[in-house]
């Protein structure tokens, strides 16, 4: 029999099962063949080896079942013939199915760990008897060590068949040379438009694949690069191309085989193989380790950024609260998502201009304030006081409709430029902006420009004149309207009967002024989905007015959030929400007196954790989805929450503090050979791809999901790949890997507007 395997996945369990079922002499009939780029464990039975097309068993689980059945019936490890053994076999199959999962996630590992931990010191299925499940779990946990399973694994290690299996397999791995395809040395990475190996290490590997395959198929390398993806099954390789998507004539399976057989391996791409119409490519992970960690050591907090947007300008309008109303959930969502959109464009090399277009032009301000306004209350909390005035004057107007007439008259005076009418309005606006700026600072948000409806009077007049000149508006009972029914966008009012302008008129004028001033390549409105129709109408009107740049305007929408009130159910202002989250986090922190005493500024840390909780809850799902504001879930340090991300980052910082060795960028990263290390480094390497894809798919949840996955993979690695107590070279290599994970996690957190903490 020949057992081929990847040295990163040693077949300890398979060899131990063979010894158990067939005796130690069976090893004389077994040939162990470690192959550096082998996708999965493969057994060629002795009877099949001589055949022209030998039957093979692929996958560790299939091999284990086969070897267990080699024993005389009934099999001591896998007996399917009695009622009792049938129950044992069923439980064994369940565990084997768990080990066969691709990808094997944190959840799967936790399930296995909990199962072993719960049964210790007994065996997994039959408490007093070894079965196939025990060997399978042991072989897996030897490669994925955990503190919770170390004692159980040691117990299995002591069994004669297991000890012999470890000796034989390790000797086979150590015996030079491993089978590796002959390779040619690449002197220079091909340059392909849309890629940049200097910014993204994975581009180097993809370009080397695309360059060869494009030449073999007579295709465009840019097109071929766009087809490279992760294989459906990780065992198949690191990259894959589906030949049917290449649009070349011929049988896809035949072409896949032809191209991969002609592919010349190199020090980057170790092998190419085909499975049906799919081409799979295996890369050198030792080279990936070296290139990636060198890049992060050089770039640090700039890791993941790129220059794809260099020379382009984007205007991002977001937040846009009304100065006489509370900063409600919709404005909070716009602020969080808009800040993310800005960060994404900065990370992709764009020049960004952030704009807060305030709702600062209303009829109730002065009329209500003349009756209910108090200077001391206004100075103390302008947003809350103006809202109280707003509520009171609107309540009065329910009983006395003439208040609306007075408000409209005052509003018309403001539009006509009456200085007396404008003076009080300016006061409201200026003190409101000062208050907003302090709130935005807590949210880690800054604006380049505070604009507003009040500042577009002249552009609005020009817009109205142009609409009339192009005969795009018509009279309707004294008002001016624009009929967009032929574009399936209904009708919108441009000017009211009394000559007053509306939101649409102001928005048209504002857009015209922005393009004239900034000559933007893109302008993004981050506004709730309730305004979908309004913005579609706006963009269509700009197009009908003859502005080519109308096509550069984009609406990024989002769903509603419900239940955003204080825990006592009272009315909501954002400031109240932030204060309550800070207080709640402070209470949680104080429960751990030892750690709390080490924090220099617990009030600030509590505020940062609280804001992280609010933001991550908001960004955890796709933008357009509605969600319920959940206090209990938000404050949890377990599960996928903002506090958990902060904990994961702080934990990585503590490893650096406690390691007693400095970060060494020249560490020997070739020592990072364990599957957990390979998985972690591969995950880190994917971050630049994520960043580059975000402008076309601006979903904050994609970054949140990545940050959680990275944190979970770090957690798995930390179970077995320790820094402290290791030989210096290995400790340096692992510390550099964890440092790179911390840099990457911190960059992802900053991208979604969080401030990464070093202690908490």
Catalytic residue status for 555: no
- Of the residues 155, 328, 404, 468, only one is catalytic, namely 328
φ/ψ of residue 653, rounded to 5: -65, -40
Q: Say how far apart CA 711 and CA 723 lie, in whole Å.
A: 17
- Of the residues 88, 331, 582, 692, only one is catalytic, namely 331
Catalytic residue status for 331: yes
For 50, 528, 563, 730, the CA distances from 624, given in Å and listed in that order, are 60, 9, 17, 46
- Of the residues 325, 427, 468, 536, only one is catalytic, namely 325
| DSSP code string of 144-211 | S--TTTHHHHHHHHTSHHHHHHHHHHHHHHHSSPPB----B---SPPP-TT--TTT-HHHHHHHHHHH
Q: Say how far apart CA 304 and CA 703 lie, in whole Å.
A: 12
Write the Ramachandran bin of 488: left for phi over 0, alpha for psi from -120 to 50, otherwise beta: left
Q: Say if CB 89 and CB 96 are below 8 A apart.
A: no
Token code pair at residue 293: 């960690």
Closest by CA to 297, choosing from 547, 19, 40, 663, is 663
Catalytic residue status for 300: no
The number of residues making up the chain comes to: 760
φ/ψ of residue 690, rounded to 5: -60, -50
Q: Say how far apart CA 31 and CA 109 lie, in whole Å.
A: 30
- Find all residues with CB under 8 Å of 168, minimum gap 6, and list them: 15, 27, 32
What is the distance in angstroms between the CA of the first residue and the CA of the last residue of the chain?
56
| C-alpha dihedral (238, 243, 244, 246), degrees to nearest 10 | 100
Q: Say if CB 476 and CB 458 are below 8 A apart.
A: no
Write the Ramachandran bin of 753: left for phi over 0, alpha for psi from -120 to 50, otherwise beta: left
For 18, 129, 580, 591, 614, the CA distances from 587, given in Å and listed in that order, are 57, 49, 11, 7, 17
Token code pair at residue 77: 């490890």
- Sign of the torsion angle spanned by Cα atoms 335, 338, 340, 345: negative
Which residues are tagged catalytic?
325, 328, 331
């Amino acid at each position: 029999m020949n057992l081929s395997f990847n040295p990163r996945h040693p077949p300890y369990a398979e060899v131990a099962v063979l010894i158990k079922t067939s005796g130690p002499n069976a090893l004389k009939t077994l040939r162990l063949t470690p192959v550096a780029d082998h996708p999965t464990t493969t057994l060629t039975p002795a009877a099949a080896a001589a055949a022209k097309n030998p039957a093979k068993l692929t996958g560790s689980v299939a091999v284990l079942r086969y070897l267990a059945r080699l024993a005389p019936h009934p099999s001591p490890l896998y007996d399917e013939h009695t009622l009792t053994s049938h129950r044992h076999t069923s439980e064994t199959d369940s565990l084997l199915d768990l080990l066969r999962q691709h990808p094997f996630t944190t959840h799967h590992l936790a399930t296995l760990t909990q199962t072993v931990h719960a049964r210790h010191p007994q065996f997994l299925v039959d408490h007093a008897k070894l079965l196939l499940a025990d060997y399978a779990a042991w072989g897996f946990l030897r490669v994925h060590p955990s503190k919770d399973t170390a004692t159980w694994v040691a117990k299995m290690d002591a069994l004669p068949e297991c000890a012999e299996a470890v000796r034989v397999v390790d000797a086979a791995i150590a015996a030079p040379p491993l089978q590796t395809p002959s390779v040619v040395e690449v002197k220079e990475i091909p340059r392909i438009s849309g890629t940049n190996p200097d910014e993204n290490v994975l581009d180097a590997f993809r370009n080397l694949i695309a360059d060869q395959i494009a030449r073999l198929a007579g295709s465009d390398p840019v097109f071929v690069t766009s087809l490279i993806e992760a294989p459906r099954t990780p065992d198949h390789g690191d990259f894959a191309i589906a030949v049917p998507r290449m649009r070349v004539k011929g049988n896809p399976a035949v072409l896949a085989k032809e191209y991969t057989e002609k592919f010349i391996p190199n020090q980057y791409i170790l092998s190419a193989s085909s499975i049906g119409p799919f081409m799979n490519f295996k890369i050198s992970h030792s080279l990936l380790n070296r290139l990636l960690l060198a890049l992060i050591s050089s770039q640090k907090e700039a890791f993941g950024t790129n220059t794809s947007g260099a020379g382009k300008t984007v205007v991002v309008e977001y937040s846009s609260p009304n100065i006489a109303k509370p900063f409600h959930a919709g404005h909070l969502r716009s602020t969080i998502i808009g800040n993310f959109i800005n960060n994404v464009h900065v990370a992709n090399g764009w020049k960004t201009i952030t704009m807060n277009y305030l709702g600062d032009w209303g009829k109730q301000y002065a009329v209500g304030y003349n009756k209910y306004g108090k200077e001391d209350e206004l100075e103390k909390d302008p947003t809350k006081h103006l809202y109280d005035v707003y509520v009171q004057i609107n309540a009065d107007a329910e009983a006395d409709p003439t208040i609306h007439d007075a408000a409209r008259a005052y509003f018309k005076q403001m539009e006509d430029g009456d200085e007396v009418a404008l003076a009080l309005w300016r006061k409201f606006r200026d003190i409101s902006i000062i208050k907003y700026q302090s709130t935005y600072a807590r949210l880690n948000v800054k604006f380049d420009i505070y604009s507003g409806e009040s500042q577009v009077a002249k552009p609005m007049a020009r817009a109205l004149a142009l609409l009339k000149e192009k005969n795009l508006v018509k009279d309707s009972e004294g008002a001016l309207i624009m009929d967009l029914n032929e574009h399936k966008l209904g009708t919108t009012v441009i000017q009211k009967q009394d000559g007053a302008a509306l939101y649409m008129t102001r928005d048209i004028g504002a857009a015209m002024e922005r393009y004239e001033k900034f000559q933007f390549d893109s302008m993004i409105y981050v506004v709730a989905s309730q305004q979908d129709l309004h913005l579609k109408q706006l963009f269509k009107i700009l197009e009908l007015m003859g502005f080519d740049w109308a096509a550069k305007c984009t609406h990024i929408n989002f769903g509603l959030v419900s239940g955003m009130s204080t825990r006592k159910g009272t009315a909501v202002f954002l400031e109240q929400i932030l204060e309550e989250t800070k207080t709640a986090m402070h209470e949680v922190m104080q429960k751990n007196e030892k750690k709390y005493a080490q924090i220099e500024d617990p009030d600030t840390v509590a505020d940062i954790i609280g804001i992280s909780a609010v933001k991550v809850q908001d960004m955890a799902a796709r933008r357009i989805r509605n969600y319920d504001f959940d206090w209990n879930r938000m404050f949890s340090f377990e599960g996928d929450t903002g506090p958990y991300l902060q904990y994961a980052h702080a934990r990585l910082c503590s490893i650096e503090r406690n390691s007693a060795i400095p970060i060494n960028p020249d560490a020997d990263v070739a020592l990072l050979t364990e599957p957990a290390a390979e998985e972690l480094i591969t995950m880190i390497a994917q971050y630049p791809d994520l960043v580059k894809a975000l402008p076309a798919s601006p979903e904050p949840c994609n970054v949140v999901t990545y940050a959680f996955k990275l944190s979970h993979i770090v957690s798995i690695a930390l179970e077995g790949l320790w820094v402290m107590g290791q030989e210096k070279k290995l400790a340096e290599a692992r510390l550099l890997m964890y440092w790179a994970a911390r840099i990457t996690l911190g960059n992802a957190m900053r991208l979604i507007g969080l401030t990464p903490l070093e202690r908490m």
